[in-house]
Amino acid sequence: MSVTLPDISRPPLTLLTEEEQMFRDTVRQFAHEHVAPLTMQMDQAGKLDPGLIRQLFELGLMGIEVPESMGGAGSSFFTAVLVVEELSRVDPSVGVLVDVQNTLVNNCMLRFGCEQLKQRFLPRLAGAVVGAYALSEAGSGSDAFALQTRATRTGDGWLLDGRKLWITNGGEAEVFIVFANADPEQGYRGITAFVLERGTPGFSVGKKEDKLGIRASSTVELIMDQCPVPTSNVLGEIGKGYKIAIETLNEGRIGIGAQMLGLAQGALDHTVRYVQEREQFGRPIADFQGVQFQLAQMRVELEATRLLVYNAARLKDASQPFLEEAAIAKLFSSQAAQRIASLAIDLFGGYGFTREYPVEKLYRDSKIGTIYEGTSNMQLQTIAKYMLR
């Protein structure tokens, strides 16, 4: 079911430059014209439409920070945040595809890749190839550095052995940033990042998870059995993978904040439209003060989320400290998205509990925000650490 949303998103002009507003509006139009008609179909199928993925590349949304000389848009991290927000307003599954590509994979390659790796992979990642970020394992979630995947040095490179779990974009990806321990005796200081390509001998994509929400977004297991990786595919320095993982995820959390912001905006958009159409006791339910108060509360939490996410993204672009702000934005946005999506279900009543209306999907999608790229407890721990240092 495709629904035209009212435009009740009016961030103050001081938050966006004219260029950013134009870019945001272009993505918003694309989302409503090309993503919205496919959203429910993709959710039911548990798969993103391949034609839609091609359109994302054609519009330049998969290489936002990649330099123009390498086929990207040459824009800012903040612009990537705007894109994730607008796509997630219609479908968070599409939003997270673009988010992982930009804030994790491309960002990691831009920051830590040597010039050779950048020249080899960034034009592909910006132009046609989906990437994935493979850190998590069955036994290493919040304790990410407990990973068991091993990298063994050979005469002309490395062999990777292990399994990765919960890998977003893994079903579509052709390029994977894989974290493995090259020196287990050194603990986390042995962790190293490698660039692995689909089709490498010994590499396979395993089970695809059947999820509660963001069902169209692929979440898969990766299996590596003596996968050969040339030395030229080491990303950054050997033994510095832990640093790459931490710094990349710190930025990625802002992207998840943008996903939750867009989701919450979409839920509120649908709700504002519905309460003005739905009548009870002879008048629209929007006329009742109880409904109005709930809408106002949703709007307050939404705008607080927007300011937190935008602030963290601006700090990152300005090369200012942003880790605490990123944790706050990620924590609050994920909690606010759940509350707003839940209130949307309440205000839709029985209809909200069915799959006939989009708010049911947004409610399911909202739950992941408190889990991936750092659980809420991990964000609280980070915030407390900054408070008490």
Over residues 216-262, the pLDDT tens digits come to 999 999 999 999 999 999 999 999 999 999 999 999 999 999 999 99
- Round to whole Å and give the CA distance between 307 and 331: 13
Q: Amino acid identity of 30? A: F
Residue 177 corresponds to which tokens in the numbers above?
A: 């940033």
Coil vs helix vs strand at 174: coil
Residues 299, 268, single domain; the answer is yes
Q: In this predicted structure, what is the pLDDT of residue 155?
A: 87
> Could you identify the residue written with the tokens 């940033």?
177
Residue 84 corresponds to which tokens in the numbers above?
A: 């994730």
Q: What is the pTM of this model?
A: 0.95
Q: In this predicted structure, what is the pLDDT of residue 163?
A: 98
Q: In this predicted structure, what is the pLDDT of residue 13?
A: 42
Single out the residue in 213, 239, 265 at which a domain terminates.
Answer: 239
Residues 44, 78, single domain; the answer is yes
Residues 188, 252, single domain; the answer is no
Range of the domain at 124: 13-130
What's the Cα-to-Cα distance from 103 to each of 46, 64, 165, 227, rounded to whole Å?
23, 9, 20, 26
- Round to whole Å and give the CA distance between 370 and 366: 8
Q: In this predicted structure, what is the pLDDT of residue 3?
A: 52
Residue 111 corresponds to which tokens in the numbers above?
A: 């920051």
- β-pairing, 279-280 vs 283-284, is antiparallel
Residues 177, 256, single domain; the answer is no
Residues 233, 263, single domain; the answer is no
Residues 329, 369, single domain; the answer is yes
| CB atoms near residue 372 (< 10 Å) | 20
Query: 206 pLDDT exceeds 90?
Result: yes
State mean pLDDT over 155-159: 93
Single out the residue in 239, 255, 289 at which a domain terminates.
Answer: 239
What pLDDT digit, counting tens, does each position of 315-334 carry? Answer: 999 999 999 999 999 999 99
State mean pLDDT over 375-383: 97
- Round to whole Å and give the CA distance between 233 and 355: 45
Residues 6+ apart with CB under 8 A from 307: none
Q: How many domains does the chain have?
A: 3
C-alpha triplet 384, 100, 135: angle, nearest 5°:
65
Coil vs helix vs strand at 193: strand
Cite the active site residues. 373
Residues 361, 289, single domain; the answer is yes
Band the pLDDT of 144: cuts 50, 70, 90.
confident
Residue 161 forms beta bridges with which residues?
150
What backbone phi and psi angles, to 5 degrees, belong to 199?
100, -10
The torsion of the CA quartet 15, 21, 27, 31, rounded to 10 degrees, works out to: 70
Query: 353 pLDDT exceeds 70?
Result: yes
